[in-house]
């Protein structure tokens, strides 16, 4: 079978033996898998938690191993690639995405493959979600990233009516924006360097789309929206330290900054820590999602509460996976790039 893998030369399509399902496992034939920002970071060498790429896959169950229950050959499914143990102190503390087991569970050889094997651990944990007929393969590739946004909001915690500033309007930032609107945000300003992505934010319901290099344009609007207090929540969906520092300045006293984007290795935050202390600002990093998050994300997509299909601006066949990755870096042309096999349902 063909699979797109990470190599020292970048993304290459190679021939691999087709996977077989062991006890409790399943094998899925891929239909579609989104290119995530962390996939791009792995290509750049900025993210080394795992060398596998592709973790937003939708496909058709081809084989069900002995003991795997609740799934049948021919089921169309979304598969979550990581699961936590649910019993360790990290999980018990309510932070399961930081569980030591989490990174060790993964689909094999990754989501950009004609077929991939899902470990028994993932199957038992409920990481495989049957897809309703009306949710397309392309829409299903947004389940995992939307679940990540939900985990971010649950950690803050978000309440309807809050005033929010969102920095970074890549695929995840735009998903976050649409989720905020679906959950009743009171007012939201969205910032990005890209005019194309700011325009998309306006079409997605942002009350204000602004260029962070011209932060003064946000000031008066933020003051009017919050009565001069500042944002209840600032979401930094970019890893740029400058954006993190800027975001803390938009927060109200006692507010929360959700650190969502992946910073560069070795990057440092240059900020007056006394101001964080005196203003009582919480910085809350969030990472990845859980089965709770993916289930809720599928529900929101299935009900039409969060629109996602139009964010998939480009599709490439598996043979052109390297081109898909290149396109995903073109922020003035692309939002979400999806690798497909066959004709994905739409």
Give percent helix, percent strand, percent coil of the chain, each to the nearest 5. Answer: 35, 25, 40
Q: Output b/e per residue, 107-133; b: 16+ Cβ within 10 A.
A: bbbbbbbbbbbbbbbbbebebbbebee
Where do we find the tokens 């034939």? 29
- Are 66 and 128 contained in the same domain? yes
Tell me: the pLDDT tens digits for 149-190? 999 999 998 999 999 999 999 999 999 999 999 999 999 999
Is the same domain home to 157 and 268?
A: yes
- Same-domain check for residues 153 and 23: no
Strand partners, 209: 190
pLDDT of 346 over the 80 cut: no
Alpha-carbon Rg of the chain, whole angstroms? 20
Question: Can you give the pLDDT at residue 334?
Answer: 96
| 280, 155: one domain | yes
Q: For 55-153, where are the E strands, in sequence order?
A: 57-64, 76-79, 115-118, 128-130
DSSP 32: E
Q: Is the pLDDT of residue 8 over 70?
A: yes
Residues of the domain holding 272 = 148-285
Which residues are 337's β-sheet partners?
Answer: 314
CA distances 37 to 64, 219, 260, 288, Å, are: 31, 29, 12, 12
Say if residue 153 is in the same domain as residue 240.
yes
Statement to judge: residues 78 and 107 lie in one domain: yes
Domain of 81: which CATH number?
3.90.180.10
Together in a domain, 174 and 281: yes
Instruction: Give the closest residue to 118 by CA, choosing from 197, 32, 169, 55.
Output: 55
Whether the pTM exceeds 0.85: the reply is yes
The pLDDT confidence band at residue 342, using thresholds 50, 70 and 90, is confident
The total number of structural domains that make up the chain: 2
168 & 257 share domain: yes
Task: Indicate whether 124 and 173 sit together in one domain.
Answer: no
Q: Is the dihedral of CA 52, 57, 59, 62 positive or negative?
A: positive
Largest Cα span, the chain: 62
The percentage of the chain sitting over the pLDDT mark of 90, rounded to a whole number, equals 90
Could you report the per-residue pLDDT of 167-177, keeping only the tens digit for each?
A: 999 999 999 99
Are 152 and 94 within one domain?
Answer: no
Please indicate, yes or no, whether residues 195 and 249 belong to a single structural domain of this protein: yes
The per-residue pLDDT of the chain, averaged, comes to: 95
**pLDDT bucket at 103, cuts 50 / 70 / 90:** confident
DSSP string, 236-272: E-S--HHHHHHHHHHEEEEEEEEE-S-PPTT------
**How far is it, in rounded angstroms, from Cα 317 to Cα 2?**
11
The rounded percent of the chain whose pLDDT value lies above 70 is 98
Residue pair 308/139 in contact by the 8 Å Cβ criterion: yes
Mean pLDDT within 299-315: 98
Is the domain of 279 the same as that of 201? yes
What kind and span of H or E run contains 14?
strand 10-15
pLDDT of residue 215: 74
Condensed to tens digits (0 to 9), the pLDDT of residues 237-258 reads 999 999 999 999 999 999 999 9
- 205, 210, 212, 216: CA torsion to nearest 10: -130
**Residue 303 resides in a domain:** no
Residue 80 has pLDDT above 80, yes or no: yes
**Bridging pattern class, strands 26-34 and 336-340:** antiparallel
């Amino acid at each position: 079978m063909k699979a797109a893998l990470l190599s020292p030369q970048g993304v290459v399509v190679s021939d691999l033996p087709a996977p077989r399902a062991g006890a409790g496992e399943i094998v899925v034939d891929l239909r579609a898998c989104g290119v995530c920002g962390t996939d791009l970071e792995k290509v750049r060498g900025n993210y080394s938690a795992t060398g596998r790429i592709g973790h937003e896959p939708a496909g058709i169950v081809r084989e069900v191993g002995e003991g795997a229950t609740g799934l049948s050959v021919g089921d169309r499914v979304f598969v979550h690639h990581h699961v936590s143990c649910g019993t360790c102190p990290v999980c018990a503390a309510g932070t399961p995405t930081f569980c030591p087991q989490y990174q060790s569970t993964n689909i094999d050889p990754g989501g950009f493959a004609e077929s991939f094997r899902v470990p028994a651990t993932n199957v038992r944990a409920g990481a495989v979600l049957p897809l309703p007929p009306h949710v397309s393969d392309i829409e299903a590739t947004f389940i995992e990233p939307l679940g990540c946004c939900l985990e971010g909001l649950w950690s803050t915690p978000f309440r309807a009516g809050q005033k929010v500033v969102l920095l970074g309007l890549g695929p995840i930032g735009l998903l976050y924006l649409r989720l905020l609107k679906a959950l009743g945000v009171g007012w939201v300003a969205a910032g990005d360097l890209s005019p194309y992505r700011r325009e998309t934010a306006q079409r997605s319901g942002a009350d204000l789309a602004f260029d962070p290099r011209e932060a003064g344009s946000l000031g008066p609007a933020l003051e009017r929206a919050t009565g001069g207090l500042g944002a209840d929540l600032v979401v930094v969906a970019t890893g740029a330290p400058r954006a993190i520092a800027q975001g803390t300045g938009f927060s109200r006293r006692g507010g929360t900054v959700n650190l969502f984007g992946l910073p560069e290795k070795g990057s440092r935050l240059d900020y007056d820590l006394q101001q964080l202390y005196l203003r009582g600002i919480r910085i809350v990093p969030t990472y990845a999602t859980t089965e709770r998050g993916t289930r809720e994300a599928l529900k929101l997509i299935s009900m039409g509460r969060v629109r996602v299909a139009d964010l998939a601006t480009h599709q490439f066949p598996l043979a052109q996976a390297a081109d898909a990755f290149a396109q995903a870096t073109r922020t003035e042309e692309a939002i979400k790039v999806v690798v497909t096999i066959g004709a994905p349902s739409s």
